[in-house]
């Protein structure tokens, strides 16, 4: 049995260099993250995949709450008249909205859309509860699913229903709201870099790419292993546009009526896709310890021999007592099968212990991301062993994974001074980020995409002057833009 499973698993891996898209879906299935359903464009997130999401959620939720945000829960339906209140917003979302027209067999008087995002519901609520400057700010967030009727779907990256969090805040002044928008973008960036070991570029979206109804949209952009860009999180500043459309007013300290300023910000289960495509390799998933459902797996070698399982259990208990998410696999599958299985599942640390190790009072510890093995002493009441593993989970592995991802991004970031250089760099080195100057004209933005294939990802906060001229029209450049092919 064990042998058969092993063969099956090895066969199933498509090499990432051969076919990246196939490699990606293989991992989603083989690491037991998702399964398809009879509902087109929707997926089951299986326990192992959902546990990753729960860890992401726990981490982010703590960061939100530390900054004073509170969780709420809005209805999942939006009446058509409510969705229609803000013109840009409805235009942006209408094409991908799903409608409820009947309740049982009865036709509804007014259609209800299944929320694609909840700005309108939050606005209606704020209009009811915000009256005075004393009611501000409101710093709300919700963890829910939303529906967008996408035509082409891929697990985690694009599905018709997906899980996310949406923060919605309302403030007395524009300055406060802008500070909130920037603060939350920083929270996302820190989370991605610290907990997901994924480097991101922070920046502002161009006019054509901003959120429907927003005054400005900020985003973090990550580069995947294949050189394609992935938007990992967004934060929007709304000004008082929504407040005016929904007639939200408050009385300020001078007893005058005033419109408040709003923000919204979100990340989705897409982050799991980003983790897969940033860190994964031909043996499967590679998970950052902070979000790995199992951080350490202990694999006993020749476990039927006397004393092996007892020693393995001691290691297990030692780590468990320190709060490490540890698993002891004492199933009758072969060690080889277990190695392949936990490599596929991306478990950050594997501990091997067999009769010879026990004789020498040691065990072998292997890191998933680079395959490095170390021999660790079991003396000192397992303190050395515990310290070694914790150091790996908290420091060396996240740092090593981050460096590896950053090296890929650096290798695939091309500085270009003309359209020809862009085309040449992409042809020669493959997809990646392009840094190039832009005049701010939408026509040039479109033309660059049409000619070279890369679209604007964001205007990075960290600007560098690569020349005075727009690479497209040759007129005076306004800023450096990060370009790329997007997921
Ligand atoms: Zn131009």
Angle among Cα 102, 105, 107 to the nearest 5 degrees reads 40
* Distance between Cα 181 and ligand 1 center (Å): 29
**Mean pLDDT along residues 175-183:** 98
* Distance between Cα 483 and ligand 1 center (Å): 14
Cβ(52)–Cβ(293) below 8 Å: yes
* Distance between Cα 447 and ligand 1 center (Å): 9
Predicted confidence at residue 3, as pLDDT, reads 42
- Measure Cα distances from 63 to 68, 192, 466 in Å: 9, 12, 36
* Distance between Cα 224 and ligand 1 center (Å): 28
* Distance between Cα 480 and ligand 1 center (Å): 12
- At 241, is the secondary structure helix, strand, or coil? helix
Q: Which DSSP symbol is given to 76?
A: S
Beta bridge partners of 250: 258
Please report which confidence band the pLDDT of residue 88 belongs to, taking 50, 70 and 90 as the band edges.
Answer: confident
* Distance between Cα 474 and ligand 1 center (Å): 6
Tens-place pLDDT, residues 227-277: 999 999 999 999 999 999 999 999 999 999 999 999 999 999 999 999 999
* Distance between Cα 487 and ligand 1 center (Å): 25
CA separation for the pair 268, 34 (Å, rounded): 15
Cβ(105)–Cβ(226) below 8 Å: no
455 CA to centre of own chain: 20
* Distance between Cα 122 and ligand 1 center (Å): 39
* Distance between Cα 478 and ligand 1 center (Å): 9
* Distance between Cα 216 and ligand 1 center (Å): 21
Predicted confidence at residue 94, as pLDDT, reads 87
* Distance between Cα 432 and ligand 1 center (Å): 21
* Distance between Cα 186 and ligand 1 center (Å): 30
- At 1, is the secondary structure helix, strand, or coil? coil
User: Could you tell me which of 267, 300, 271 has the C-alpha nearest to residue 64?
Assistant: 267
* Distance between Cα 453 and ligand 1 center (Å): 16
Question: 210 is written with which tokens?
Answer: 């901003």
Tens-place pLDDT, residues 357-383: 999 999 999 999 999 999 999 999 999
Predicted confidence at residue 11, as pLDDT, reads 56
Phi, psi dihedrals of residue 104, rounded to the nearest 5°: 65, -125
Per-residue b or e along 28-51, where b marks 16 or more CB atoms closer than 10 Å to that residue's CB: bebbebbeeeeeebebebeebbbb
**Mean pLDDT along residues 453-457:** 97
* Distance between Cα 433 and ligand 1 center (Å): 19
Predicted confidence at residue 12, as pLDDT, reads 67
Whether the pLDDT of residue 5 is over 50: the answer is no
Predicted confidence at residue 125, as pLDDT, reads 98
* Distance between Cα 411 and ligand 1 center (Å): 27
* Distance between Cα 22 and ligand 1 center (Å): 37
**Mean pLDDT along residues 171-199:** 98
Predicted confidence at residue 87, as pLDDT, reads 85
> How many CB atoms neighbour CB 423 within 10 A?
16
Cβ(32)–Cβ(46) below 8 Å: yes
Predicted confidence at residue 2, as pLDDT, reads 40
CA separation for the pair 460, 476 (Å, rounded): 18
* Distance between Cα 450 and ligand 1 center (Å): 14
- Measure Cα distances from 72 to 233, 247, 266 in Å: 20, 22, 14
Please report which confidence band the pLDDT of residue 13 belongs to, taking 50, 70 and 90 as the band edges.
Answer: confident
**Mean pLDDT along residues 297-305:** 97
Whether the pLDDT of residue 100 is over 60: the answer is yes
Cβ(123)–Cβ(11) below 8 Å: no
Whether the pLDDT of residue 8 is over 70: the answer is no
* Distance between Cα 419 and ligand 1 center (Å): 11
* Distance between Cα 204 and ligand 1 center (Å): 18
* Distance between Cα 485 and ligand 1 center (Å): 19
Question: 161 is written with which tokens?
Answer: 């229903």
> How many CB atoms neighbour CB 111 within 10 A?
17
* Distance between Cα 438 and ligand 1 center (Å): 6
* Distance between Cα 172 and ligand 1 center (Å): 38
CA separation for the pair 420, 451 (Å, rounded): 10
* Distance between Cα 424 and ligand 1 center (Å): 19
* Distance between Cα 201 and ligand 1 center (Å): 23
**Mean pLDDT along residues 308-337:** 97
CA separation for the pair 76, 143 (Å, rounded): 12
* Distance between Cα 426 and ligand 1 center (Å): 20
Tens-place pLDDT, residues 381-440: 999 999 999 999 999 999 999 999 999 999 999 999 999 999 999 999 999 999 999 999
User: Could you tell me which of 128, 220, 123 has the C-alpha nearest to residue 169?
Assistant: 123
* Distance between Cα 465 and ligand 1 center (Å): 15
* Distance between Cα 454 and ligand 1 center (Å): 15
Looking at the chain, how many residues does it have?
A: 487
* Distance between Cα 460 and ligand 1 center (Å): 18
Please report which confidence band the pLDDT of residue 1 belongs to, taking 50, 70 and 90 as the band edges.
Answer: very low
Question: 329 is written with which tokens?
Answer: 């696999």
Whether the pLDDT of residue 153 is over 70: the answer is yes
Q: Which DSSP symbol is given to 211?
A: -
- At 327, is the secondary structure helix, strand, or coil? strand
């Amino acid at each position: 049995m064990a042998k058969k499973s092993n063969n099956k698993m090895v066969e199933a891996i498509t090499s990432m260099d051969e076919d990246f898209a196939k490699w990606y879906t293989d991992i989603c299935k083989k690491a037991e993250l998702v399964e398809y359903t009879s509902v087109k464009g929707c997926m089951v997130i299986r326990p192992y995949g959902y546990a990753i999401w729960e860890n992401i959620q726990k981490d982010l939720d703590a960061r939100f709450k530390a900054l004073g945000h509170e969780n709420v829960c809005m209805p999942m339906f939006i009446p058509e008249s409510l969705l229609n209140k803000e013109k840009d917003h409805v235009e942006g979302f209408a094409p991908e909205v799903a409608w409820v027209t009947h309740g049982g067999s009865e036709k509804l008087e007014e259609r209800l859309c299944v929320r694609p995002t909840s700005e309108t519901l939050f606005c209606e609520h704020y209009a009811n509860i915000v009256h005075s400057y004393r009611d501000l700010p409101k710093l709300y967030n919700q963890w829910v699913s939303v529906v967008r009727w996408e035509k082409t779907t891929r697990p985690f990256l694009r599905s018709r229903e997906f899980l996310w969090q949406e923060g919605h805040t309302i403030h007395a002044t524009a300055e406060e709201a802008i500070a909130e928008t920037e603060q939350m973008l920083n929270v996302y960036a820190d989370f991605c870099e610290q907990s997901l070991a994924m480097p991101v570029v922070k920046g502002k979206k161009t006019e054509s790419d901003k959120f429907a109804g927003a005054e400005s949209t900020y985003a973090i952009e990550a580069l995947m292993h294949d050189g394609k860009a992935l938007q990992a999180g967004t934060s929007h500043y709304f000004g008082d546009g929504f407040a005016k459309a929904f007639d939200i007013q408050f009385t300020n300290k001078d007893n005058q009526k005033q419109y408040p300023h709003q923000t919204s910000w979100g990340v989705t289960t897409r982050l799991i896709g980003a983790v897969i495509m940033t860190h994964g390799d031909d043996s499967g998933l590679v998970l950052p310890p902070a979000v790995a459902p199992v951080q350490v797996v202990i694999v006993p070698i020749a476990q039927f021999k006397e004393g092996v399982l007892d020693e393995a259990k001691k290691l297990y208990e030692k780590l468990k007592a320190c709060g490490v998410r540890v698993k002891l696999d004492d199933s009758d599958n072969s060690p080889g099968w277990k190695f392949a299985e936990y490599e596929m599942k991306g478990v950050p640390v594997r501990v091997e212990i067999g009769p010879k190790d026990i004789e020498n009072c040691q065990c072998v510890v292997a890191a998933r991301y680079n395959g490095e093995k170390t021999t660790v002493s079991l003396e000192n009441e397992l303190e050395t062993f515990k310290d070694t593993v914790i150091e790996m989970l908290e420091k060396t592995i996240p740092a090593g994974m981050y460096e590896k991802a950053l090296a890929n991004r650096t290798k695939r970031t091309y500085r270009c001074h003309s359209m020809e250089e862009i085309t040449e760099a992409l042809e020669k080195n493959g997809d990646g980020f392009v840094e190039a100057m832009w005049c701010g004209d939408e026509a040039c933005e479109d033309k660059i995409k049409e000619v070279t294939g890369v679209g604007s990802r964001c205007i990075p906060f960290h600007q560098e002057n690569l020349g005075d001229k727009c690479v497209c029209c040759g007129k005076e450049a306004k800023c450096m833009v990060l370009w790329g092919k997007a997921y």
